Amino acid sequence: MASTNVVVMDTSLGTIKIELNPEKAPITVKNILSYVDDKFYDGTIFHRVISNFMVQCGGFEPGMKQKKTKATIKNESSNGLANARGTVAMARTNVPDSASSQFFINVVDSAFLNKAQAQDGVGYCVFGKVIEGMDIVDKIKGVKTTTKGGHGDVPVQDVVIHSVRRAEA
Residue 27: strand pairing partners: none
Query: Could you read off the pLDDT of 118-164 as tens digits, one per residue?
Result: 999 999 999 999 999 999 999 999 999 999 989 999 999 999 999 99
Q: Is the pLDDT score of 21 beyond 90?
A: yes
Pairing assessment for the beta strands 60-61 and 126-132 based on DSSP bridges? unpaired
Query: Could you read off the pLDDT of 53-74 as tens digits, one per residue?
Result: 999 999 999 999 999 999 999 9
3-state secondary structure of 66: strand
3-state secondary structure of 70: coil
Mean pLDDT of the chain: 96
The average pLDDT across 70-86 equals 98
How many alpha carbons fall within 13 Å on the CB side of residue 113? 25
Q: If residue 11 lies in a helix (H) or strand (E), which one and from where to where?
A: strand 6-11
H-assigned helices in 6-113:
26-37
CB atoms within 10 A of CB 5: 18
Handedness of CA 33, 34, 37, 43 (dihedral sign): negative
Q: Is the pLDDT score of 2 beyond 50?
A: no
Residue 90: strand pairing partners: 103
3-state secondary structure of 129: strand
* Alpha carbon distance, N-terminus to C-terminus of the chain: 11
Per-residue pLDDT, 114 = 98
Q: What's the pTM value of the predicted model, to 2 decimals?
A: 0.97
